[in-house]
Amino acid sequence: MRAVLLAVAATCASAFMAPSPVSLSRRPLRLSQSRSAAVRVPRASPVMMANIKERTVRAPVFDEVCEQTGITLTRYMMEVSRANPELRDLESLISGIQQACKTISSLVDRATITGMVGYANGGGSINVQGEEQKKLDVVTNDVLKRALRFTGKVGIIASEEEDVPVFNKDAYKVPGGEGKYQDVTVDIGSKYVTVFDPLDGSSNVDANIPTGTIFGVYEEAESMENCMVNDDSVEGSCLLNTLQPGDALVASGYCLYSSSCMFVFTIGAGVNGFTYDRSIGEFVLTHPNIQLPKRGKIYSMNEANRWDWDKPLQDYVTAIQTGQGQTKAKYSSRYIGSMVGDVHRTLLYGGIFGYPADKKNKDGKLRLLYEAAPMSFLMEQAGGLSLTGKTRIMDLVPQKVHQRVPFLAGSYDDVMEMRSYYDACDDPEIIKRCLARLEGSAK
């Protein structure tokens, strides 16, 4: 594996005090403990991850803050690119994503007024998941695709709402072609593959329940120089660029649309949260260096399916409900039913959130590529852990774009306690499923 050491920006200095008008916290905002501090991105085994680069990403440190705006996401990414020159292209990409999220936030806020609630085309519009699409599913998917296309940094886009990955041909105009496009070889300068769920929890929009956008960013697994495209979809040989494990992620995050709009993401140097200040039209840093507590007191799962879960998970939940777990504390139950909302609460308060396997959905319902893996990257960067029950999600290599996996994530000690129930289980069906996921990843 090729080690990559990225330079420290000359402007990085000591930590700063955030001005009270824009900070939700009175404590100093420290993005890094020292100007030389670097965070090592965890990687999986060399056998499974032979093609993944080791990287050290340096978090920016700010010695001066505007009293009116605080630290905006735009400035944060500028400093990231100065501290890490090889991530300069990522600045444009994140700019495109944040602009799309601002647009989606406005669409969600005004959905009831503008009539953007209900099902697309009056009902009957089904996506590749077999799920009926909401109007906002279709619109938000288009908003994100367009925002990413025009950054010029994205070669391939994969979405929950698309049957197959989409080649970004709109970024490559043919000289003298009078604005028209044709199938062309991907420019090797467009180095990123971006995956996303444009509006997680869209079925909740009509009831004003929190929703969100989930995204993940990968570098191309191999050069896309010879990756040709037919009918807007990527050829099978080019799926290698899309079907990458979570350990290959360069960045991931989500945008939460709720009482406030929050953009939470990682570039492999910790997790930071930015709140949308509509008065200036910018995301402002309000939650620096988010750290999951080692333990929480909340579990979050759809208990309507409880008796269809794996027996080890049933036993674990019973134990923490009744105070018979390792901490002897009785846990509380909190469940929104929107992954972004539930993950956000778990990141801030700790505990465990799960969308587990059950008798009907033996591989769970969350998609590995653009839901489970990006959220797992966030969890691990915040000091937590994310498993299928027994297997680390970041190790799994997707076998298809819309592959599903069970998802159990949160505070490290809580997730490890849950795993101990799976480790003690000798159910051949559960063991077979776990081995099948690992064998698929090892191919």
CATH (domain of 413) = 3.40.190.80
Structure tokens given for 430:
């559960």
Q: What is the pTM of this model?
A: 0.82
Type of residue found at 274:
F
410: pLDDT strictly greater than 60: yes
Could you list the residue range(s) of the whole structural domain that residue 392 is in? 298-442
Asked, for residue 370, whether it belongs to a domain, the answer is yes
Per-residue pLDDT at 238 = 58
Note whether 350 and 229 are same-domain residues: no
Note whether 335 and 203 are same-domain residues: no
Asked, for residue 360, whether it belongs to a domain, the answer is yes
Q: 315: exposed, middle or buried (C-beta count within 10 Å: 0-12, 13-18, 19+)?
A: middle
Q: Give the least confident one: 88-102, 228-242, 371-385, 427-441.
A: 228-242
**Ramachandran region of residue 178, left (φ > 0), alpha (ψ -120 to 50) or beta?**
left
Q: pLDDT higher for 429 or 238?
A: 429
Per-residue pLDDT at 130 = 60
Q: pLDDT higher for 95 or 6?
A: 95
424: pLDDT strictly greater than 60: yes
Note whether 312 and 265 are same-domain residues: no
Between CA 145 and CA 153 the distance in angstroms is 12
Average pLDDT value for residue range 344-371: 96
> Is residue 284 within 8 Å of 275, Cβ to Cβ?
yes
Share of the chain above pLDDT 90, in %: 54
Stated as kind and residue range, the H or E segment containing 251 is strand 249-257
The sign of the CA dihedral 6, 9, 10, 16 is negative
Pick the closest to residue 163 from 191, 126, 119 (CA basis).
Answer: 126
Residue-wise DSSP of 189-213: T--EEEEEEEEETGGGGGGT--EEE
Asked, for residue 59, whether it belongs to a domain, the answer is no
Asked, for residue 293, whether it belongs to a domain, the answer is no
Note whether 117 and 248 are same-domain residues: yes
Between strands 249-257 and 233-234, the pairing is unpaired
Last residue within a domain, chosen from 287, 310, 326: 287
Neighbours of 240 (CB within 10 A): 16
Q: pLDDT higher for 339 or 188?
A: 339
Candidate ranges 22-36, 37-51, 185-199, 406-420; pick with highest mean pLDDT: 406-420
Note whether 181 and 233 are same-domain residues: yes
Average pLDDT value for residue range 380-385: 98
Between CA 436 and CA 76 the distance in angstroms is 41
Note whether 319 and 271 are same-domain residues: no
What is the pLDDT confidence band of residue 183, given thresholds at 50, 70 and 90?
very low
Note whether 328 and 279 are same-domain residues: no
Mutual orientation of helices 339-349 and 373-381 as an angle, nearest 10°?
Answer: 10
Residue-wise DSSP of 31-43: S-SSTT--EEPP-
Between CA 421 and CA 313 the distance in angstroms is 7
Distance of CA 143 to the CA centre of its chain: 18
What is the Rg, in whole angstroms, of the alpha carbon atoms belonging to the chain? 21
> Is residue 244 within 8 Å of 396, Cβ to Cβ?
no
What is the pLDDT confidence band of residue 6, given thresholds at 50, 70 and 90?
very low
Note whether 336 and 187 are same-domain residues: no
Asked, for residue 247, whether it belongs to a domain, the answer is yes
**pLDDT for 31-76, tens place per residue?**
443 323 343 333 433 333 445 667 788 888 787 777 777 899 999 9
123: pLDDT strictly greater than 60: no
Per-residue pLDDT at 168 = 66
Q: How many structural domains are present in the chain?
A: 2
393: pLDDT strictly greater than 80: yes
Note whether 84 and 163 are same-domain residues: yes
Last residue within a domain, chosen from 262, 287, 312: 287
Asked, for residue 49, whether it belongs to a domain, the answer is no
Last residue within a domain, chosen from 264, 287, 310: 287
Note whether 270 and 137 are same-domain residues: yes
Q: CATH number for the domain including 222?
A: 3.30.540.10
Asked, for residue 35, whether it belongs to a domain, the answer is no
Asked, for residue 236, whether it belongs to a domain, the answer is yes
> Is residue 362 within 8 Å of 251, Cβ to Cβ?
no
